[in-house]
Amino acid sequence: MPRLQGKTALVVGAGSIGPGWGNGKATAVTFAREGAQVFCVDRNAEAAEETASLITGTGGRAVAFAADVSRVADVEAMVKACMEAYGRIDVLDNNVGIAETGGVVEVSEAEWDRVFAVNLKSAFLAMKHVIPIMQQQGGGSIVNISSIASIRHLGISYVTYAASKAAMNAMTRTTAVEYAKDHIRVNAILPGLMKTPMVAHSAGLAASYAGGDVDAMWRARDAQVPMGHMGEAWDVANAALFLASDESKYVTGIELVVDGGLTLKVN
């Protein structure tokens, strides 16, 4: 039997910023392949529609919804629409994230606020409005997409990204403890260096790695990983599938590192 049969999954950040497979897009499709009906949310309506169409085009069930999840009104509307469409929320996958390069001296206050709103406040708001539903249902699984940047310096200066993801780890742990009695599991995935459209479209990252040369950046990132190559969106999606499914029914509050061994290195 499919691992998410009969479950409803709300995937926040289900679109992709460009051609190819981002973590949220791959996760939404993976959840659908495993039997879930998927509510696909993205700030970009066309990106959400594309993911939903990939699911429905192969016989799955999906609804697309546009929302800026850093805004409480949009989050409230998102949750309401999901409940109207499917009547329940069994899985919440918080998958939005942006990065601004620079340390505490270089980053502006506006950049700091924007990154924290997108990377952290969005997950806070989504959990705030979904957890009461899961309590009424008798449980659920929440998967927050963090980063290994939250636990170590990767040679690139982006303090806003690292700090916001570290805060997400702490929020994941505290929420996991507080709602374990309600059979709501809350876990984080810490992807390492991934080859995704978001990274490809980050001019700051390409400039930091290779003077703006994206192909050279890919080669440099591959060389950093003990396995010799970056991960892909499907690696994150499969980790999310485990945490979303009943196979992980006794797992909560963890930080699941998916990085090809990168964080095992000294440098």
Residue-wise pLDDT tens digits, 109-154: 999 999 999 999 999 999 999 999 999 999 999 999 999 999 999 8
Tell me what pLDDT residue 196 has: 84
Whether 42 and 48 have beta carbons less than 8 Å apart is answered as yes
Residue 205 has pLDDT above 80, yes or no: no
Q: Which amino acid is at 157?
A: S
As given in the structure block, the two tokens for residue 177 are 């403890």
Rounded to whole angstroms, how far apart are CA atoms 84 and 76?
12
Give the pLDDT band of residue 60 (cuts 50, 70, 90).
very high
Tell me what pLDDT residue 204 has: 65
Give the pLDDT band of residue 217 (cuts 50, 70, 90).
confident
Residue 223 has pLDDT above 90, yes or no: yes
Tell me the pLDDT of the chain averaged across its residues: 94
pTM as predicted = 0.95
As given in the structure block, the two tokens for residue 159 are 């303090």
Tell me what pLDDT residue 198 has: 76
Tell me what pLDDT residue 214 has: 82
Query: Which of the given ranges, 61-75, 148-162, 204-218, has the highest pLDDT on average?
Result: 61-75
Rounded to whole angstroms, how far apart are CA atoms 130 and 133?
5
245-267 mean pLDDT? 95
Catalytic residues: 161
Residue 6 has pLDDT above 80, yes or no: yes
Q: Classify burial at 191, counting beta carbons within 10 Å of its beta carbon; exposed 0-12, middle 13-18, buried 19 or more.
A: buried
Residue 206 has pLDDT above 70, yes or no: no
42: number of Cβ within 10 Å? 31
77-94 mean pLDDT? 98
35-41 mean pLDDT? 98
CATH architecture label of 8-196+233-258:
3-Layer(aba) Sandwich (3.40)
DSSP state of 121: I
User: Pick from 90, 202, 188: which is nearest to 156 by CA?
Assistant: 202
Q: Classify burial at 90, counting beta carbons within 10 Å of its beta carbon; exposed 0-12, middle 13-18, buried 19 or more.
A: buried
Task: Give the rounded percent of residues in the chain with a pLDDT score beyond 70.
Answer: 97
Instruction: Name the more confident of 191 and 1.
Output: 191
Residue 182 has pLDDT above 90, yes or no: yes
Tell me what pLDDT residue 156 has: 84
10-28 mean pLDDT? 94
200-212 mean pLDDT? 68
Residue 236 has pLDDT above 80, yes or no: yes
Task: Give the rounded percent of residues in the chain with a pLDDT score beyond 90.
Answer: 84
Tell me what pLDDT residue 99 has: 87
